[in-house]
Amino acid sequence: MQITIIGTGYVGIVAAVCLAKLGHNVTAMDRESVIQSLQSNKAHVWEPGLQELLTECNEEGNLHFDADMASATANADALLIAVGTPTRADGHTDLSQIENVLEQLKQSGNCPPLVIVKSTVPVGTCDELEANLHGAGLRADVVFNPEFLRQGSAINDFMYPDRIVFGCQSRHSEIMLRQIYQGIDAPIQVCDRRSAELIKYASNTFLAMKISFANMMADLCEGYGADIRQVMKGVGTDRRIGPHFLQAGVGYGGSCFSKDLQSLLTSGKVIGRSLPLLEATAQINDQRIPQLVVKLISLWENPNGKRLGVLGISFKPNTNDVRDAPFLTLLKLCQHHRIDVHAYDPVVQQVAFEGVTVADSPYEMAAHSDAIILMTEWPQFVELDWVRMVQLMRQSILLDGRNVLSDEVVAQLMELDGVTYVPVGRPVEQSVEQRVY
Ligand SMILES: NC(=O)c1ccc[n+]([C@@H]2O[C@H](COP(=O)([O-])OP(=O)(O)OC[C@H]3O[C@@H](n4cnc5c(N)ncnc54)[C@H](O)[C@@H]3O)[C@@H](O)[C@H]2O)c1
Ligand SMILES: O=c1ccn([C@@H]2O[C@H](COP(=O)(O)OP(=O)(O)O[C@H]3O[C@H](CO)[C@@H](O)[C@H](O)[C@H]3O)[C@@H](O)[C@H]2O)c(=O)[nH]1
């Protein structure tokens, strides 16, 4: 099938290479600068396996890039929209990128018979988009086909999903969607468009709610001297609950959870429904970094001029994406308290915001610091020589924001003088001999 993809952000480029690998003839469209980079075989987003797959597709010849809507859509059987849908300041979803795509389509005069919306959009949007196209005399079927991939494991998630959802109103569009995904072995749920639109929001907000639940329980564990890892293990082994997304820590970040939660709250408000579970989920998450900073400051007499080492800038491992990363909230609070931030990240080497020095190695970051916060659970952080890290520091305070240091490493550190280890949802550990500063 000839498929044109509009938008080559995380979702668009992953969909493009995967659909090309599944044997479709794919044209991906974006801004000129992005298209130039892709045409010269350079992936513009950092995602494990993406560059390799892009190179393969370019060699195999069934993936093309084009910055012009008219030529990109000529002869297309289906158009897949994967542009951004950020949240506006008033809490509503900004649909302007999708609206622009529709305008460009109308001007180009080429509208494929099937328009697949993959961008996450509020309930009712696809009905409106279809009415808009029909109003302009373009007889396309608009379907909603939510994407559930996670950054860091995006290609695997696209190729081996738990389910594929088709929100479509006609048998013909369902048949076309089945052809597009016929190389993927996953259960397919076919439903109306509005339900499909809500499935995407309900999934993301439910996952966010699980994380906030774990974080709420972590606070209780700290108060009562229990261990959140044990509590969540015991909870998650109940098959009705499941072990995933119960990892307490610095809170969720990324471009989706907060945005989609906000959008769903607004959808509720529009029809006069409050969604208190989601309000609590957001509140708990918003408090994670401020609480962590309070903990940190309580360990110093005065935060002014202290040096903080931060391990991990991106919102999760295996991505360089810093959108809505907890690190950004941390940085803002540190600036407020005049704490000097030195950060290290395996893939984020430059940051577009002020007030942070990015180190070339974790050891360089640790040198002369008055505390370290582990923000992102990159496997290589767990494997660091933590004794060396601590010996390089001016004051040996470790805040393990993801609870990833092993009990063995912590026990080893406790044999050194003056080490304070502050995990999440567990008692603080201090070596017997505390240094006096
Ligand atoms: N990032 C994820 O992990 C993820 C997962 C599932 C769903 N989603 C949803 O998918 C959508 C896209 O997310 P993303 O993270 O890939 O977005 P993104 O912001 O990374 O990428 C969007 C791309 O669309 C391009 N674009 C915008 N308008 C365009 C136009 N008129 N013509 C051509 N290109 C245009 C932009 O230049 C950009 O490259 C969002 O609705 C998001 O909520 C994202
Ligand atoms: O137990 C957990 C699991 C995750 N997180 C955090 O939650 C955030 C989101 O993580 P994850 O869901 O793995 O990454 P995303 O790439 O944001 O993926 C989510 O958002 C996408 C965009 O909508 C969806 O497609 C995915 O299904 C959904 O998992 C990150 O900051 C994680 O550190 C935790 O704090 N504890």
Total domains in the fold of the chain: 2
Calpha distance 6→28 (Å, rounded): 6
Which atom belonging to ligand 1 lies closest to the Cα atom of 151? 3
- The residue whose CB lies within 8 Å of the most ligand 1 atoms, and thus the one to mutate among 46, 80, 203, 255, is 255
Note whether 201 and 334 are same-domain residues: yes
Q: Which two tokens stand for residue 5?
A: 């993809």
Q: Tell me: the pLDDT tens digits for 35-89?
A: 999 999 999 999 999 999 999 999 999 999 999 999 999 999 999 999 999 999 9
- Going by C-alpha positions, the residue among 245, 249, 234, 153 that lies closest to residue 206 is 245
Please give the pLDDT value at position 308. Answer: 98
Please give the pLDDT value at position 110. Answer: 87
Q: Tell me: the pLDDT tens digits for 175-205?
A: 999 999 999 999 999 999 999 999 999 999 9
The domain in which residue 142 lies consists of 2-191
Long-range contacts of 73-76 (CB under 8 A, 24+ apart): 73/4, 73/105, 73/108, 73/110, 73/111, 73/112, 74/110, 75/2, 76/2, 76/3, 76/4, 76/27, 76/110, 76/112
DSSP symbol at 175 = H
Ligand number with the minimum distance to the CA of 69: 1
Please give the pLDDT value at position 355. Answer: 87
Long-range contacts of 268-275 (CB under 8 A, 24+ apart): 269/91
Note whether 132 and 247 are same-domain residues: no
Note whether 291 and 301 are same-domain residues: yes
Please give the pLDDT value at position 433. Answer: 65
Q: Quick check: 435 pLDDT over 70?
A: no
Note whether 182 and 218 are same-domain residues: no
Note whether 421 and 277 are same-domain residues: yes
- DSSP secondary structure, 313-366, as one string: -SSSTT----TT-HHHHHHHHHHHTTPEEEEE-SS----SSSSEEEPSSHHHHH
- Going by C-alpha positions, the residue among 247, 317, 259, 267 that lies closest to residue 48 is 317
Number of H-type helices and E-type strands within the chain: 17, 15
Please give the pLDDT value at position 434. Answer: 59
Note whether 137 and 264 are same-domain residues: no
Q: What is the arithmetic mean of pLDDT over 228-236?
A: 98
**pLDDT classification of 437: cutoffs 50, 70, 90:** very low
Q: What's the mean pLDDT when you consider all of the chain?
A: 96
Domain limit, last residue, from 191, 210, 241: 191
| Sign of the CA dihedral running 2, 6, 7, 11 | negative
Q: Does residue 213 line the site of ligand 2, with CB under 6 A? A: no
Q: Does residue 264 line the site of ligand 2, with CB under 6 A? A: no
Q: What is the arithmetic mean of pLDDT over 1-27?
A: 98
Q: Which two tokens stand for residue 73?
A: 């859509």
Q: Tell me: the pLDDT tens digits for 379-410?
A: 999 999 999 999 999 999 999 999 999 999 99
In 181-275, alpha helices (H): 193-224, 228-236, 257-270
Note whether 305 and 388 are same-domain residues: yes
Q: Quick check: 34 pLDDT over 70?
A: yes
3-state helix, strand, coil split of the chain in percent (to 5) is 45, 15, 40
Domain limit, last residue, from 191, 224, 249: 191
Ligand number with the minimum distance to the CA of 249: 2
Q: What is the arithmetic mean of pLDDT over 231-240?
A: 98
The domain that holds 183 is classified in CATH as 3.40.50.720
Note whether 151 and 243 are same-domain residues: no
Give the SS3 label for residue 43: coil
Please give the pLDDT value at position 349. Answer: 86
Q: How far apart are the first and last CA of the chain?
A: 69
User: What does DSSP say about strands 397-400 and 420-422: parallel, antiparallel, or unpaired?
Assistant: parallel
Cα 316 to middle of ligand 2, angstroms: 8
The reply to whether 36 sits in an annotated binding site is no
Name 397's Cβ contacts closer than 8 Å, sequence gap at least 6. Answer: 296, 299, 370, 371, 372, 419, 420, 422
Q: Which two tokens stand for residue 361?
A: 């190695």
Q: Does residue 256 line the site of ligand 2, with CB under 6 A? A: yes
- The residue whose CB lies within 8 Å of the most ligand 2 atoms, and thus the one to mutate among 211, 260, 286, 375, is 211
Q: Tell me: the pLDDT tens digits for 316-360?
A: 999 999 999 999 999 999 999 999 999 999 999 887 878 899 999
Note whether 168 and 282 are same-domain residues: no
Q: What is the arithmetic mean of pLDDT over 284-302?
A: 96
The reply to whether 120 sits in an annotated binding site is yes
Q: Would you tell me the crossing angle of helices 326-336 and 276-299 to the nearest 10 degrees? A: 50
The reply to whether 183 sits in an annotated binding site is no
The reply to whether 4 sits in an annotated binding site is no
Q: Which amino acid is at 332?
A: K
Calpha distance 250→254 (Å, rounded): 12
Domain limit, last residue, from 166, 191, 216: 191
Q: What is the percentage of the chain residues whose pLDDT exceeds 70?
A: 99
- The residue whose CB lies within 8 Å of the most ligand 1 atoms, and thus the one to mutate among 83, 88, 93, 204, is 83
Name 80's Cβ contacts closer than 8 Å, sequence gap at least 6. Answer: 3, 4, 5, 6, 12, 15, 19, 116, 118, 145
Note whether 206 and 338 are same-domain residues: yes
Please give the pLDDT value at position 352. Answer: 80
Distance of CA 211 to the CA centre of its chain: 14
Note whether 178 and 321 are same-domain residues: no
Note whether 357 and 432 are same-domain residues: yes
Task: Kindly report the protein residue whose alpha carbon is nearest to atom 24 of ligand 2.
Answer: 148
Task: Kindly report the protein residue whose alpha carbon is nearest to atom 21 of ligand 1.
Answer: 9
